[in-house]
Amino acid sequence: MKKIEAVIFDWAGTTVDFGSLSPVSAFKEAFRMNGIEVTDEETRAPMGMLKIDHIRTMLAMPDVAARWRDAHGREPTEADAQAIYEVFEPALMKVLDRHCDLKPGLLECMRELKRRGVALGSTTGFTSDMMAVVCAEAAKAGYSPDTFVTADQVGGYGRPYPYMIFENMRRLKIGSVDAVMKVGDTVSDIEEALAAGVTAVSVVEGSSVMGLSRAEWDALSEDERNAHRERTAEVFWRAGAHYVIGRLSALPALVDAVNAARSR
């Protein structure tokens, strides 16, 4: 197998926005404005998908659909999904620039990967308009991957489809899926990586699966943190991740270890 030539990162919850907070609040507000309440757990379950697909997936959840029937007297429809999205997008855009803080260790990780000659790509569940805000804010703080791809740039086929990864590979001129590592914080990221045939890596701390803000995380005891780490890692392992790391600072060493194993 080839050595790792490119690492393709997710954005919210992986490289920026510890805990992936901005989409959660916007989704909950959009559903509330359309007549029902949804929980954090329901909201986070499809995280990483294209946002309209995320809403469709939530409406198909049995408990959410039951609440919709109770509130509206009928099954949710595609028109309902579109109506929720019409509220979601402006709600997210209002807060998006406030949730672009870089995850701890990202800049050092980026420098170390670049020093090794590794290209940096990215995929996301955000649209191009949303990413215009996120990329600008992240760049101010020093993070600019070599490329980013959104679902609307590949015909709307976001996660779990593999096409955003393939488009990154095309732009970065990477010739083999064996040479690519995909790093994310959701089950959707893992599904995307597996569909593309690349190495799937999940980051535990600050992930959407963990679901804690930076302040909540900092307030925990070490025993409490370990319990959250174990619970989150188990979700990733069960979803099929090839590797699970605690934080981004561990990624360069993982790349080294994978390359060393492949050179034997």
Whole-Å CA distances, 50 to 89, 143, 155, 164, 223: 12, 23, 12, 11, 35
| Rounded Cα–Cα distance for residues 20 and 96 (Å) | 11
Annotated binding-site residue? 10: yes
Q: What percent of the chain has pLDDT over 90?
A: 94
> Residue 264's pLDDT band (boundaries 50, 70, 90)?
confident
For the chain, domains (ranges, CATH) are: 6-20+102-262 (3.40.50.1000), 21-97 (1.10.150.240)
pLDDT in tens, 144-156: 999 999 999 999 9
Element (H, E) at 225: helix 222-239
pLDDT in tens, 157-214: 999 999 999 999 999 999 999 999 999 999 999 999 999 999 999 999 999 999 999 9
H-assigned helices in 73-182: 78-95, 106-115, 128-140, 163-172
Annotated binding-site residue? 185: yes
| Rounded Cα–Cα distance for residues 56 and 70 (Å) | 18
pLDDT at 224: 98
pLDDT at 138: 97
Annotated binding-site residue? 12: yes
Question: How high is the mean pLDDT of the chain?
Answer: 96
Q: Mean pLDDT across the stretch 80-88?
A: 96
| Rounded Cα–Cα distance for residues 175 and 259 (Å) | 17
Structure tokens at 17: 């926005």
Q: Mean pLDDT across the stretch 204-227?
A: 96
pLDDT at 22: 86
Asked if 2 is an active-site residue, the reply is no
| Rounded Cα–Cα distance for residues 244 and 232 (Å) | 10
Asked if 103 is an active-site residue, the reply is no
pLDDT at 237: 98
The packing angle between helices 51-60 and 62-72, to 10°, is 80
pLDDT at 1: 79
Q: Mean pLDDT across the stretch 89-108?
A: 94
Set 10, 17, 53, 80: catalytic member: 10
pLDDT at 111: 98
pTM exceeds cut of 0.85: yes
Residues 247/204, Cβ–Cβ less than 8 Å? yes
Set 28, 51, 103, 182: catalytic member: 51
